[in-house]
Amino acid sequence: SQKIEQNSEALNIQEGKTATLTCNYTNYSPAYLQWYRQDPGRGPVFLLLIRENEKEKRKERLKVTFDTTLKQSLFHITASQPADSATYLCALDMGTGGFKTIFGAGTRLFVKA
Amino acid sequence: DAGVIQSPRHEVTEMGQEVTLRCKPISGHNSLFWYRQTMMRGLELLIYFNNNVPIDDSGMPEDRFSAKMPNASFSTLKIQPSEPRDSAVYFCASSLGLGSSDGYTFGSGTRLTVV
């Protein structure tokens, strides 16, 4: 079955630097892949969706890439700020013909001022 | 729009009791999802609906769990009888459609504690 792997270790970076988070998946490539942000005690918040025929997508300081050969998506936050500190979740469809979306465990990001 | 509204925010109940969680999706969204989140298992999809019809309930852990969507603006997730291992945060999410480019909008969740 499809599995998602996100770095379970927290990522600590200095303010102003670019944060890069990784999402790897096994088996087949999903039709689309999503990234969410989750703050403690809150529900996930949608950030970006990238489809299998798209290599890259941008939104303000965010950039997502999708490499179906490597079975990997990279999520970049440029000019990071302490307010970007949160857990970032990768999500993708199961590819079962429906739209069953599964989530990775998430990577915790800490941006230090 | 007020977003996806879930109630209650917190629920503490005794083992064996029935628990009902409620969700009001965003108006105009025709897909609705129920997820459960724990530290050990992360976010797990329990069931999802499209146009009020259950599409996939394979994530529902046991027959003790049931979900309904009687109309486009309301859904319930019921656990009967509840057990301590059901303790988790339960999220409801909605979207414009399956595979929407706008992703899912999540509610604030219901934190369930079964003692």
Cα angle B62, A92, B43 (rounded to 5 degrees) comes to 40
**Mean pLDDT to the nearest integer, A44-60:** 93
Query: pLDDT below 50 — which residues of chain B?
Result: none
Average pLDDT, chain A: 91
Q: Looking at the predicted structure, is the pLDDT value of residue A97 above 60?
A: no
Contact assessment for residue A42 and residue A64, using Cβ atoms and an 8 Å cutoff: no
Would you state the pLDDT for residue A1?
73
Using an 8 Å CB-CB cutoff, list chain B residues near A50. Answer: none
Measured between CB atoms, which of A44, A48, A100 is closest to B56? A100
Facing residues of B21 across strands? Answer: B77
Confidence of residue A95 (pLDDT cuts 50, 70, 90): low
Question: A41 to chain B, minimum CA–CA distance in Å?
Answer: 8
Q: Of how many residues is chain B composed?
A: 115
Using an 8 Å CB-CB cutoff, list chain B residues near A49. Answer: 101-103
